[in-house]
Amino acid sequence: TSGNNQNESRDNFVVVANRLPVDRYTDADGQPAWRTSPGGLVTALTPVMERLGGAWIGWGGADSEDIAPFVHNGTHIVPVALSAEEIESYYEGFSNDTLWPLYHDVIAPPTYHREWWDSYVKVNRRFAEAAAETAANGATVWVHDYQLQLVPGMLRELRPDLTIGFFNHIPFPAYGLYSQLPWRTQIVEGLLGADVIGFQRVADASNFTRSVRRLVGYETKGTSVYVPLESDSAPGQTGGYRRGGPTRHVLAKHFPISIDSASFEELARTPEVQARAAEIRADLGGSGKILFGVDRLDYTKGIRHRLKAYGELLADGRINPEDVTLIQVASPSRERVETYRQLRDEIELTVGRINGDYGQIGHAAVHYLHHGYPREEMVALYLAADVMLVTALRDGMNLVAKEYVATRFDLDGVLVLSEFAGASDDLTQALLINPHDIEGLKASIMTAINMPKPERAKRMRSMRKKVRENDVERWSTAFLTELERSAAARLEEAQG
Ligand code: GDG
C-alpha cells in the first residue's frame, strides 16, 4: 500500500483534530514560538503519544499559515493551513453555525449554506490527505469531533490499511432533528469510514445507529453496524445494496470522556491555590455563600436560565446580596459568530439589570467576568464556591462539573447539574435539574444553599469516587482498546 514509502519517518499513531495541541506565542526575544495548549484532550493523549510515538494534525490558529511540520516535546506536529475565507465558511460557518446548533437540539437555529458545506468538504479532504501522508503502514488514526466527520470515510478510501477511530465530543441529535441537515447522508457515510465511532452517552450512539438505518439502511445490532463492502448503487441510495453480502464491522458506542482527576486534586492541595481561595472568599465578605458558574460564553450552557433563576430569587426576597453572591466567569468564545455576539449582549444586559436592581455598595449581586483564567485561578474558584451551577441546555459531557468534584478533596460544596449534560449519567449524587423549569431550578439553588454539611459530604464523597475511578486515562484506554481489537480482527480476516 501507499503507506510503505518512507515508512521510517511516518507515525504509528496519528491524532487528527481541528486544533493543534500547541499555541503560537511570541517569546522573550520577540520570536514566534509554540507552547502546549492547556486543553483536556492534550492531557489525555500525551501519554499515548509518548508510548506509541505520535503525530498530531490540526489547524494552528488564525495567523499560522504555511508552517512546516515540526517536533514539539516528542510529538510530530503537522499544521493544516486554513485561508481567511475557510475560517469563515468551514469553521465559523458550517462547524459552529450549522453543526453546533443542530447537534445541540437546535437551541439556536442552524444556518444551512451550500457554500459552507463545499468548504467543509474541501477542508475535511485536506485533513484526510495530511493524515494519509503522515500515517505509517497499518497505523492507528484517531479523528476528533464534529468539524471532521468526513475524514474517516475519505481516509479509508486513501488508506485502507489504517485502523481509524472517531470520537464525537458533542451530542449526536435524535433523527427527527438530524434529518434537517441537507447533507445528512454524506456525514453518516463519512463517519462510517471509521472502525470505532465513540460518543459521550448511550443515547448519542443510539441516535446515530438509528440515523444509519433510516438513511442508508445498513443493518445494525446494539452497538454494531454492518457496512456492506460492495455497493450495487450510488452512495446515499437507501437500501441499494445486497443484503447478506460481505460487510465491515463498525462499533458505535459510548465512551464518556473525563478529566485528569488527580492533577486537579493536586493543584487544589497546593498552598498557593488554598491561599487564593481564602482570599477570594475574604474579598467577598467572608461569611456569605458563593454561587459559581464558569462556561465558555455559549448558548448551550444555559447562562441566561441561570441568571433568570438567580434574579428571581433576589426579586422574591428569598436571598439577599449581603448573604449570597454569584460569580459568573464567561470565557470569550466564537466572537465572530453573530449568535454569540447577541448572546453576549443579552447576558451583559441581564447582569447589569440584576446588579442595578439588587446590588448594594460593597455587595454586587453578580460578579461577571468575561475573561479566560489560568487553571490555578479556576481551581481556586472551585474551592471557594459553596454551590457550583452547571445549567447546560445540552452538553456532550461538561468537564467543569467533573473538575469541581475532583477539586473538592475537603468533601464540601454542592453541585447543581443539568440532566441535559452528559456528566449527569455518572454524577447522580448532584442536585439534578431541568434548566427549562425555572421554578425547579430556583428550588434546587435554595436546597443547595441550605444543604447541611453531612449531606454535602455524603454526596461529594460518592461523586468523587466516580470521578477518580473514571478519569481521562480510563477513557482513552477504553477507546484505544476497542480500536486495537478491531485492528486485530481485520488482520485475522485478511490472513484468512
Ligand atoms: C466540549 C463539549 C465536552 C473554561 N473557561 C476557562 C477554562 N475552561 C475549561 C474548563 C473545562 C473546559 O474549558 C470546558 O470543557 P466543557 O466540557 O465544560 O465544555 P466545552 O468547551 O463545550 O467542551 C463538552 C468537552 O468538549 C470534552 O469532550 O465535555 O460537552 O461541549 O476544562 O475548565 N480553563 C481555563 N480558563 C478559563 O477561563 N484555564
Tens digit of each residue's pLDDT (9 = 90 or more) over 415-433: 999 999 999 999 999 999 9
Q: Whose CA is nearest to atom 1 of ligand 1?
A: 169
What are the grid coordinates assigned to 9, written together? 519517518
Contact by Cβ (8 Å): 370, 297: yes
pLDDT digits (tens, 9 = 90+) for 186-232: 999 999 999 999 999 999 999 999 999 999 999 999 999 999 997 65
What is the CB neighbour count within 10 angstroms for residue 86? 18
pLDDT tier at 137, thresholds 50, 70, 90: very high
Say if strands 366-369 and 387-390 run parallel, antiparallel, or are unpaired: unpaired
- Between CA 106 and CA 454 the distance in angstroms is 40
- Between CA 260 and CA 493 the distance in angstroms is 37
Distance from Cα 60 to the centre of ligand 1, integer Å = 19
Distance from Cα 295 to the centre of ligand 1, integer Å = 7
Distance from Cα 224 to the centre of ligand 1, integer Å = 30
Q: Whose CA is nearest to atom 28 of ligand 1?
A: 169
pLDDT digits (tens, 9 = 90+) for 320-342: 999 999 999 999 999 988 999 99
- φ, ψ (nearest 5 deg) of residue 37: -80, 150
Contact by Cβ (8 Å): 152, 135: no
- Spell out which residues line ligand 1, taking CB within 6 angstroms: 38, 40, 169-170, 257, 294, 296, 329, 331, 372-375, 378, 395-400, 403
What are the grid coordinates assigned to 319, written together? 436571598
Distance from Cα 398 to the centre of ligand 1, integer Å = 7
Predicted ipTM > 0.95 = yes
- Between CA 412 and CA 451 the distance in angstroms is 11
Which atom of ligand 1 sits closest to the CA of residue 171?
30
E-assigned strands of 223-314?
Answer: 224-228, 247-254, 289-296
Query: Ligand 1, residues 15, 166, 204, 400: which to mutate, most atoms within 8 A of Cβ?
Result: 400
pLDDT value of position 44: 78
pLDDT value of position 2: 41
Using the predicted structure, report yes or no on whether residue 151 has a pLDDT greater than 90.
Answer: yes
What are the beta bridge partners of residue 51?
none
What is the CB neighbour count within 10 angstroms for residue 256? 20
Burial (0-12, 13-18, 19+ Cβ within 10 Å), 163: buried
Q: Whose CA is nearest to atom 23 of ligand 1?
A: 398
pLDDT value of position 298: 95
- Between CA 15 and CA 483 the distance in angstroms is 13
- Between CA 66 and CA 60 the distance in angstroms is 10
Distance from Cα 144 to the centre of ligand 1, integer Å = 15
- Between CA 34 and CA 26 the distance in angstroms is 8
What are the grid coordinates assigned to 258, written together? 473525563
Task: Determine the longest span between alpha carbons in the chain, in angstroms.
Answer: 79
Mean pLDDT of 103-121: 98
Local structure of 197: helix, strand or coil: strand
Q: Structure pTM?
A: 0.95
Distance from Cα 345 to the centre of ligand 1, integer Å = 22
